[in-house]
Amino acid sequence: MNAPWTAWGDPAAEKVAGHLLEGLTQDLLKAWGRLLDGLLVVGGYGRGEGSLLRTSIGGYRPWNDVDLVLLRRPGEAPPAGWHGQADAWAAHWDLDSVDLVWAGPAEWRRRPSSLFHVEVRAGHRVLWGSGAAAELLPAGLARGERLREAHWLLANRGFALLLLGLPGLLTGQRAGASFRLNALLKARLAVGDARLLAQGRLPLRYAERPAALRSLGAPAEVLAAHAGAVELKLRPTEAWASAPRDVPAEARAAARLWLAHGPLALAGTDAAGYPGYVAARLGSWRRRLRRALAGGGGRALEPAARLGAGVPLLMAGFAEPAGWDPAPLAALWPGEVSPDAPWSQAAARLCEKWLEGK
């Protein structure tokens, strides 16, 4: 029997998932097969936990996204316009996104060290061609790398939450209900997952994570939010997805959880001190030395790290609007955020910068 694609345990769900992945495989090969040595599915479907929405009549339909790695032939480059083609496939298959990563042995021989690359190695399935290049990726992360990735995971989920408070920035497939609901789920998951990751205890499969988090003695609020989010991540239903809800209110509640138990708890500091922690503790020792020689502090950070360093300041203003103070963020981002900027303006500017890097 073939390994399952989903966590539903239902042949009908497996049939829908198989049709989706076969269709995407044929789409990709028709468009770019001449450029490829292999095609891998990673993420949920690579783990055997792909998200399909169970409908009210007991059927299934695509939900959320599909993550694919395209292994290039030597000397080939990604084709022009591939982002637009991925968006077109997402719309055709009724997905939030078709997330494509172009890679090859030349890049992977340098052993890139991120959570994504570790999960690709341990959690991929070959849809076409060869997946041998994945064996070049690392099987695990060093302690400092785990800590960096835990904070980066929380930063990404934090920005997704902020976008829920700025609906004008959500366009295309991101403007749909599926993106909003999954942004809420992923933020709740990240608070627990980051703790596991920082301790080197993060299982590949979501189904195994609640038990692992309990073994760490995580706070009850974190355990409840994480376990509930895992169930909805693995087995979302139409009844849940279509229920009336106040998304901004849910996003603010998720922001409060993120602030209480996320990066500030890992760092042992407050939002004002977090940029200094990022500068001093995260990244390679070479980068930390360059920052120290440049005078240190948040403004010495590279733009991507500075975005992450400022998320707690933005999240504090989102969760508790009455206490918003733009001054610390303006000091971190001179010329981008003014000292008297309203929250919506400061958040929109930095969310736009975050989206540019996606």
209 lies in some domain: yes
Give yes or no: residues 109 and 198 share one domain: no
In the chain, how many H helices and how many E strands? 17, 6
Give yes or no: residues 127 and 175 share one domain: no
What mean pLDDT do residues 256-285 have?
90
The pLDDT value given to residue 287: 55
Give yes or no: residues 148 and 35 share one domain: no
Q: Model confidence over 155-212: pLDDT tens digits?
A: 999 999 999 988 788 776 666 788 899 999 999 999 999 999 999 999 999 999 999 9
Give yes or no: residues 147 and 284 share one domain: yes
Give yes or no: residues 173 and 40 share one domain: no
CATH number, domain containing residue 66: 3.30.460.10
Say which range, 69-73, 223-227, 259-263, 284-288, has the weakest mean pLDDT.
284-288
Please report, rounded to a whole number, the percentage of residues in the chain having pLDDT higher than 70.
94
Give yes or no: residues 132 and 98 share one domain: yes
User: How far is Cα 69 from Cα 103, in angstroms, rounded to an integer?
Assistant: 7
The pLDDT value given to residue 297: 52
| Residue ending a domain, choose from 105, 136, 167 | 136
Domain that holds residue 107: 11-136
The pLDDT value given to residue 289: 41
| Residue ending a domain, choose from 108, 136, 164 | 136
What mean pLDDT do residues 113-139 have?
96
Please report, rounded to a whole number, the percentage of residues in the chain having pLDDT higher than 90.
82
Would you say residue 215 has pLDDT above 60? yes
Look at the chain and report how many structural domains it folds into: 2
The pLDDT value given to residue 68: 98
Give yes or no: residues 281 and 316 share one domain: yes
What mean pLDDT do residues 347-356 have?
93
Nearest CA to 190 out of 224, 161, 154, 214 is that of 154
Give yes or no: residues 28 and 169 share one domain: no
5 lies in some domain: no
User: How far is Cα 212 from Cα 44, in angstroms, rounded to an integer?
Assistant: 19
The pLDDT value given to residue 332: 93
What mean pLDDT do residues 330-336 have?
93
Would you say residue 214 has pLDDT above 80? yes
Alpha-carbon Rg for the chain in angstroms = 21
255 lies in some domain: yes
pTM: 0.92
Would you say residue 270 has pLDDT above 90? yes
63 lies in some domain: yes
Give yes or no: residues 84 and 224 share one domain: no
Q: Model confidence over 32-51: pLDDT tens digits?
A: 999 999 999 999 999 999 99
Given a contact cutoff of 8 angstroms between Cβ atoms, the answer to whether 302 and 333 are in contact is: no
286 confidence band (pLDDT: 50, 70, 90): very low
The pLDDT value given to residue 2: 80
Give yes or no: residues 241 and 350 share one domain: yes
User: How far is Cα 43 from Cα 21, in angstroms, rounded to an integer?
Assistant: 13
* Angle subtended at Cα 283 by Cα 280 and Cα 286, rounded to the nearest 5 degrees: 85
| Residue ending a domain, choose from 136, 157, 183 | 136
